[in-house]
Amino acid sequence: MSNPALTEKQAYWLNHIQQCEQKSLTAPAYCDQHGLKVSQLYSYKHELRRKGLLKTAAPTTAFVKASVAPLQKTEIARERPTAISLSLVWGTFRLQMTTGGPLL
């Protein structure tokens, strides 16, 4: 995109912002691959949107059906659980968080 209203730096960052979006990468992942500072990418993204040189993406909202597995009974009696584990899967994205002690 060539726009005479863009400075050289703005054109540089606009190119990187567009490449990041085309490759469907997160800003931190893209910046890591290209040796860029994430804060600068976000700063120029904000500036270019404010000047109307970059379209603002429509916010996406999605609902995900959650399923709860039945409680597994153990032979150990406890007053409180020693650990909690949360696992979320959405397409190829998987997030697993554990807190506390070891899980049985």
Backbone angles phi, psi at 10, to 5 degrees: -65, -40
Please give the chain's pLDDT, 104 residues, in tens: 455 578 899 999 999 999 998 998 899 999 999 999 999 999 999 999 888 888 876 666 777 788 888 877 666 655 665 677 777 787 777 777 777 655 44
pLDDT tens, 55-77?
876 666 777 788 888 877 666 65
Q: Where are the alpha helices (DSSP H) in 1-104?
A: 8-22, 27-34, 38-50
pLDDT on residue 60 = 66
Round to whole Å and give the CA distance between 36 and 40: 8
In degrees, rounded to 5, the angle at the alpha carbon of residue 13 between the alpha carbons of residues 60 and 22 is: 45
